[in-house]
Homo-oligomer: A and B are copies of this chain.
Amino acid sequence: MSKLNFFSGPAVLPDSVMQQAADAIHNFDNTGLSILEISHRSKQFVKVMDEARALVKELMGLDANYEVLFLHGGALSQFHMVPMNLLNANETASYFDTGTWAHGALTEAKLFGNVHIACSSKDKNYTYIPREYNIATGNKYLHLTSNNTIYGTQINTPYLNQIIDTDTPIVCDMSSDIFSRQLNYNKFALIYAGAQKNAGAAGTTMVILNKDILGTAKRPIPKMLDYSRHIGADSMLNTPSVFAVYVSYLTLKWIKEQGVANLQAANQRKADKLYAAIDGSSLYKGTVEKDSRSQMNVCFLLNDETLNDKFNAYAEQHDVLGLKGHRSVGGFRASIYNAMPESGVDTLIEVMKEFERMA
């Protein structure tokens, strides 16, 4: 790929992952069959699923009582699966209201039990992560969205470490920053993430959970929505999204080769230099309060918005794609996930500076 992909997700993948994925369409693991037509019960694919699950546990340093599932449905399906499995009708869960998806998650939870808003940044169009929050009495779990893709905010690592230092079970949507930094993942009761940003292609969603949180639901749960059933079937309750799981498996192997600590350092450097370029310019300005800035999604506006279309066209002419911001924020957003090399961010900064000089 000669183009630079700054889309928010589906997003950039390592070249080696794409090459291996394409190869497997012709001949998967020397079976003589395509990954698209292989049985999910074949020993070759069962190995992929088992190794992918083990890699997630290894990369996160998880204890033995954690389970990893690759489910259908996208992170959005976890908005109902989480409360369906964890929250009875008379119980209360607390939610951080820090963006479109965080709000979507708490809206779905209201169908199942009581929802307490622990904090909200809706007052300023979700441009910050609130520093104060409170948890309901007898709280069942606290739901966080660690990175808000649309608004470019992220719970920074020191603050997140402070929040998870609690006895309340923590449920966290990490769709847009999973595997981007080291954390004590054993402090989380349940983590979920659509694969298509930092961990593969669209079509599968990781759910990582401590088995101890299950078993209290009093409602009947349909088979496919029941975490226990998926665990009992080793994440093969029905035909999984075979190819998407395979791409995640390849991506997880790539992450292991790179090392999460190294990726974290690179993500820090990439974000620091891009925000520095924005802050040092008179054309670009960030949209997010500094200590809430995301290392994954860098949102910015042009001081002269009449130049928006021109900037976008200029970037595309220079093979810099996917910069258009979400309609809720406007302006621009550069998504710089794990697989975006530092050289890609350097090119983006050059293109931004050249455009500013010309403008």
Contacts and interface: CB of A to CB of B under 8 A. Distances in A.
Interface in A1-18: 1-3, 5, 7-13, 18
B33 A201 contact: no
A203 B39 contact: no
Interface string A214-240: 000000101111000000000001111
Given A40-B10, A203-B203, A2 B32 contact: yes
A299 B262 CA distance: 53
A89 interface: no
A32 B321 CA distance: 10
A122 B224 CA distance: 24
A74 interface: yes
A36 B35 CA distance: 15
A201 B36 contact: yes
Grouping DSSP codes into helix (H, G, I), strand (E, B) and loop, the A interface class, with mixed when no group exceeds half, is loop
A193 B18 CA distance: 29
Interface string A23-58: 001100001111011111000000000000000000
A222 B74 CA distance: 14
A37 B73 contact: no
A248 B2 CA distance: 28
How many copies altogether? 2
Contacts of A204: 203
Nearest to A197: B239
A243 B242 contact: no
Given A222-B79, A238-B74, A37 B25 contact: no
B242 A10 contact: yes
Interface centre among A18, A73, A220 (most CB of B within 10 A): A73
A315 interface: no
Contact of A243 (B111, B222, B244): B244
Contacts of A321: 32-33
Interface in A69-86: 72-77, 79-80, 84
A74 B10 contact: no
Given A196-B239, A244-B244, 6 more contacts: A1-B34, A40-B202, A74-B224, A76-B238, A79-B224, A243-B244
Counting from the closest, the 10 A-B pairs by CB-CB distance are: A80-B222, A203-B241, A22-B25, A76-B238, A3-B32, A36-B201, A72-B73, A72-B72, A74-B238, A202-B242
